[in-house]
Amino acid sequence: MLNFLIRSVSMGLVIAVLVLLAVPTLRPGFVATTLESEPTDAASLQVSFNKGVRKAAPAVVNIYSRQYQENDKKKLSTQGLGSGVIVSDKGYIITNYHVVANADQIIVALQDGRVAAAQLVGKDQRTDIAILRVEGSNLPVIPLNPDYSPKVGDVVLAIGNPYNLGQTTTFGIISATGRSSISAGGIQAFIQTDAAINQGNSGGALVNTQGELVGINTASFQQATDLETYGISFAIPYPLASKIMEKIIADGRVIRGYIGIDGQDINSVTARLLGNEHIGGIVVLGLDPNGPAAMGGIKVQDIVMMIDGKKLNGRQGVLDLVTDLRPGTTVDMTVLRNSEQITLQVTVGEDSRE
Point out the residues that are catalytic: 98, 128, 202
Alpha-carbon dihedral of residues 80, 86, 89, 92, nearest 10 degrees?
-50
What is the rounded CA–CA span in Å between residue 352 and residue 92? 26
What is the rounded CA–CA span in Å between residue 244 and residue 125? 11
| Contacts of 341 by beta carbon, 8 Å cutoff, 6+ apart | 305, 334, 335
Alpha helices, DSSP H, located in the chain: 2-22, 28-37, 50-56, 97-100, 238-251, 268-274, 292-295, 314-323
Alpha-carbon dihedral of residues 240, 243, 244, 247, nearest 10 degrees?
-170
What is the rounded CA–CA span in Å between residue 85 and residue 62? 9
Q: How many CA atoms lie within 13 A of 202 on its CB side?
A: 21
Contact 126, 172 (CB under 8 A): no
- For residue 53, which of 165, 208, 241 has the smallest C-alpha distance? 208
Alpha helices, DSSP H, located in 118-176: none
Calculate the alpha carbon distances from 138 to 63, 119, 219, 347 in Å: 19, 18, 31, 46
Please state whether beta strands 257-258 and 349-350 pair in parallel, antiparallel, or not at all (unpaired): antiparallel
